[in-house]
Structures are given as structure tokens and as C-alpha cells.
Structure 1
Amino acid sequence: MGYNELIPGLPEEVARECLIRVGFDQLPTVRRISRQWKAEVESPAYNRLRKAEGLARPALALVQARRELAEAGPADKQSSAGGGPGNSYRMVLLDPAEGRWTPLPEVAGASGSLPLFCQVAAVDGGVEGRKRLVVVGGWDPETWAPTDSVLVYDFLTGAWRRGAAMPGPRRSFFACAAVGGKVFVAGGHDEEKNALRSALAYDPDADAWAALPDMAEERDEPRGLCVGGKFLVVGGYPTPAQGRFVGSAEWFDPATSTWSAVQEGFVDDGACPRTCSAAPEAGDRMYMLRDGHLVARHGAISSAPAAWRPVAPVPEDARTAAVVSVIPDGRVVVIGSDCHGGDQTVYTLREEAGKPASWARAPAPPEFSGHVQAACLLEI
């Protein structure tokens, strides 16, 4: 047996086939077995092989209330026994194809909770193309004060680390999305409830923030998406409007560092854009919920008018929706409940030409039925 064999007694290509089938939750352990295994799973070829063999799977990263506190709802300020806010959130991964739910390790801290109303984005980066989750901003779970915190979860190490704090005013309810290995943030409001036009980008490899040009409009509570390699910011409202959403949108091109306007009426005036979701593949396809229906459109960042078309009514026990996402095989995933604070249910739908759209229901297990306050799609 050679000392440098990946698995003693097995040809290298067979050993490599075994290693690429390791589950994502076992990677931290695999890295500690030997120097050879650590080098293998950290190499760029490792991820390429997993994808080539069809082993990379889409998953939804969900910032979800722990079950024992799920009934309180995301905005209920009931106190815990210790006198602080009663909500506590953790990161959970959902494989929508298999219905598999996996909690990630808790963050360090007295509460062990992720910030309330935080945003999450998934990025690839580094020489080895390692996958990470970046949690940005939100409110301190003990004091309910806005925070500038950044938390980064590395799937190879299986651990959280603190990132560089988000600069500028401590903002809440901002647009956020990952584009090209960076996390983009725009809009929201400051601690005085003033809507913001400013935007930032976070590079997790350098652990550094960079200021971007301001948007054309103030946008509080906008929706951030990655569409065609650009950062799309949908809706929101200016300071004087206070909750009266506008239907406009604008997008940032990282290649030119410029903002461009999308046509007026991108969504209906007055419509909250929270459920807007973009398909991960090329094609400029988007979905959102409107009046209890799933609707779709093409041409997300085109200046030409594009209409939303109805796809299917959403089942009543998911119409109070927290998440709408599109996975690479074309299915739309909706996670919601029948009322605020209700148990979450997962539905998936696949559009097929000439066939009526139908939903497949998958109730969440009891321990994963808490409110979902933020989500993003990743491939692991």
C-alpha cells in the first residue's frame, strides 16, 4: 500500500469516486482524516467532479424560527423567561427534491440565534470554489436593535465565522443578493426610519466591503435578486410613503458599476415584492405571488414592457407565503402557511406546456415547521 493513496488498497480513480459521494454535512470530518483527503475535497476539481457526476444538488438555505417559538410569529415581541425577545432563528437546509431537512450548527453567542430580519446569500469563491452562506444585518435577538453584523458559514469547515461589519448607517429591510461571488446590499432604512439609496458589496474572500454608486430612488423594503449576472432591486418605497410600495425597479451591472432603470410598473404599485424570485438558469424568468396566485414573467431586466401571466392559484394553506424559489430543474417551490404564525408547508410546481399546473404538497416535519424569515438557493 502506498503512503499517499487516498484510500489504501483502492485505485486512485475509485477512491476519488468514493470521496465525491460524501454528503455535505460530512465534509468537515473528511477534511480531518488526512492531508490527502483535505487536499482532495478543497481542490477545484472536487466540485467539478461532483457536478459532472450529477451529485451536486439544489438546496434552500432557510433562516427559520425554532419550533418551540414558532407560534410567536416573526414580529411578535413577546418576552422569553429571561426578559428578552422570544424569537430565536437558526439556519436550516431543505433539499426540495428529497424533502430532506438539515439544521446547520448554531452561531456563537449567548442566544445562539441568527439576527431577526437578517438577509442570507450563497456565494462561491476562493481558489477551491468553496460554498459559503453569508448572513447580513438584521436585529440583535436580545435587544431588537439594528446590527451591522456579518456571519459566514463555510461548508468545508462546518463552522461560522464573523465577517467585517457592514459599513455606513445600520440599515434594516434592505435588498440583498449574491452576484459573481460577492454579496450586494441596497436600500432599506436607517435607525431614524429614513429610506436609503446607498448600496454596498461584500467580498467574502477578502472579507471587505466596497461602496457602490447610489440608486436613483430611495427604496425601503425592496427585494434583491441576481438576474443575468446583474443585481436587480425591485420595489420598495421612499421615506414619505411609509409602506406604500412603488412598482419600479433598477439594476446594477458589476461590469460597468452603473445602475439602470427597468420599465415603470415592473410590479403593481402597492405590491410588496418580497416573494419575487428569479430562475437560476439563463432565460430571465421570474415568479411572484399576487392575489393568491403564482404569476410569472420573462424579461426581468429588459427595458421593453413585459406582462405578468397567471400560472396557478396557490393552495390556501400556503398563501401566507414566506418563500418563493425556482430550482434548476424548473420547479417552483413555495413555502408558506394558512395564517401568520402558522405551521409551514412546502409545495412544488412544475410548468409543462399543454398540461395544467398542479402542486405537490410536502408538509414540514414538526421540528421544521417554524416561520421562515429569509431564504436563498444554493447548490451543494
Structure 2
Amino acid sequence: MSVKVACVGGGPAGLYLSILLKLQDPSHDVTVYERNPEGSTYGWGVTYWRGLLDRLHEHDPESARAVEEHSVRWRDGVAHVDGESARHRGDEGFGIGRHRLLEILAARARALGVRLEFDLEVDAADPPPADLVVAADGVGSALRTRHAGHFGTEVRAGRNPYAWLGTTKVFDAFTFAFTETDHGWIWAYGYGFGPEGSTCVVECTPGTWTGLGLDGADEAEALTVLEKVFADVLDGHPLTGRSAARAGGSWQTFRTLTNRTWHRDNLVLLGDAAHTTHYSIGAGTTLALEDAMALSAALRERATLPEALAHYERERREALLPVQSAARLSAQWYENLPRYIGLPPEHMFALLGQRHSPLLPYVPPRLYHRLDRAAGRLEALRRLKRWLGPRIARTVQARSLAARD
């Protein structure tokens, strides 16, 4: 049966959902509404891994081929710690420019007959008439905010300030850089997304942020400071920002967003409007696209809209548990950087790769490293860590809900 769908938000989640719905049934009437002009998206590059690419090929080979063709890939990770470096071979990772990804998805959606309405702000009080309204309008979703009481929205602010920047330096590996200043440690994550440059996310403690004067600096001043701090890693390349004029304009603290429920009547949440996970695990775009896959499948397989939305929510909540656990532990690892920074670079890099472990916060780092080297090949230990992660996430979620009630 043909349905009319209004998707509010023209990011990866909204565009990919519109593609999948049209592939399921070309008679579906699908419109994507995006408040910003076409091509004006903010952001340099996004990361993803082989597993997502395989799933993209399963769902729509044509757009998957285009995404893969315009992506860069790496297998190495490198950590720079105050002049010393360590390099590890890891799983294959990919980077693609956010502008390019959206261009690919928008072109594919148009070719399938999706209507794309750019530069159009949807009134949350009066959304477009449709059988299904999809709130894919990001962490600040106006549609979700209007019904925040129903959705049970909760936002927790992280401790460390961070800035999402770009650089013309093209990193050949996923790069971590840790630099000690007179005011404490500051670090960056860098990854290439094409021949034009890389994404560079900078993070530090609040004390370092204020000590370096970044809280009162405008963007140009902040970039000058950071280019000096990371000069060795950048090799003389500049950093670029959002051109925000106000002091501290590029900086924010990460907001972990959860919702008690993801749907209300014919309105459903998708991507960052439903959930966020800390940027240090590089999963935001992947999770948004997987949401779209799950929602489109539920709409195809379930007899009624309420059944489909309930099934989508259950499936995605379960799938998110280990990811949310990993994200929480990863953020905590960086917030407790002094616990690990004194280790030799090779050992620190090994624990950086283990930062998702629920055991690591409770075992002395040097001991954990020795135990991990000795027992890391044992499947029993791996199974224990995989088993603990989702259960800790469920416990945290249950305590949070109990505290609110």
C-alpha cells in the first residue's frame, strides 16, 4: 500500500530512509524537508567501517558504490604523545567528506523520485500532512522538543570542551595527538576524508581550555593557538573552523541524548533526534544509517504503523546497548587521561584501543596492559568483555529511568 512520508531533516539518516522507502515501493510519496540551503552542511568528514559498507551494498548497491568510490581508507592508527609515536595496524576504516556523502544520497533520492525541499523550515506545531512524519532533524530536533514530555528526552552534558575542525593536512592513518601544555593536556583526533583534507577534533579538560585562553578567544585566535600546539602533527598545515565570530564559538561539550520512547502517533525519531553517542567512537553516521535501514524494514514487514514503529524502536534500542556502553566508556577514558598518559606510548596506545572495556576503569593500567597481553588471545576474556558491556549499559539506563521517576 502506498504511503505518504514527510521526512524532516536532510542529513544522512533522512536521505537514506527516503531512498530505501522508494526502493521498496516506487509509489510511496516521500518528501525530505531540509531547513538549510542545499550544499551548506557543516562538517568536514565522517568515518565508518567495513561492516556499514557491506550493509549499504545489501540495501542499495548503487549508492553504496558511489560512497565507496569517494571514500578514503586506512588500516593504521598512530598516536603521538609529546614527541613520541606509536603505530598499530587495525581494522579497515573509511572516511568521506560530509558534503560528498550528502550529494551522493541526495542525487540517488532524486533519481528515485523523492522530492527534496531545501531552505524550508518546518513548523513543529504544524508538520506537513503525511501518514508518517519522521523527525530526522538532529540532536536539537524541533519536532521532538515540542513533545519532549511524551518522548522523555534526557540530555547529559559531558565534561570536556571540544571543537570540530578541519585541516588541509591529509592524514594517512587515524591519528591521535596528545600534547602537554603549561595548563594540562590537550589532544586531537584526525582522519582523512579526501585529497582536500582531514577532520580534526580537538578536546581538553575545562582547566586546560581556560588556561590556554580558549574560552575567551574568537575562532581565529583559537585556531592560531591550536596550530602552535599541534604544529608537529599538522606539518605546517592550517586548521579551519566554522567562522564563528563570538568568543568560544567553536567549542561545546558533547550532549548525550536519550529518549524514553521514540514514537508518538505517526511521528517517529531517527538518528541524532533519537540518540547520540560520543564522537570518540566515530559511530554517529553509521548509527543514523542503520536506523534508516531498521525503520524501512519495519515499515515493510509489519502490518500496521503502530506495530512497525514499536518494532523499530525495540530493535534499535537493543542494538544500541553495546554501542552506548562503548561510547560512555570511551568518553570516560579521555576524561581520565592522566590515569594513562604516563605509560610508554606503545602501552598507552594499546589501552587507547581497549578504552571500551568495562574492566579497564577498575584495573590499574599497567596491570591491565600486562594481563591483556597475556590473556588477550583467550576467547573467554573476550566473551566476558562483550557480555559485560551491554549489561552495564542496561543497568545505567535503568538507574537513570528510576531516578527520573
TM-score, normalising length from structure 1?
A: 0.24
Greater RCO, CA 8 A, separation 6+: 2
Higher normalized helix content (fraction of residues): 2
- What TM-score, normalized by structure 2, do the two folds share? 0.23
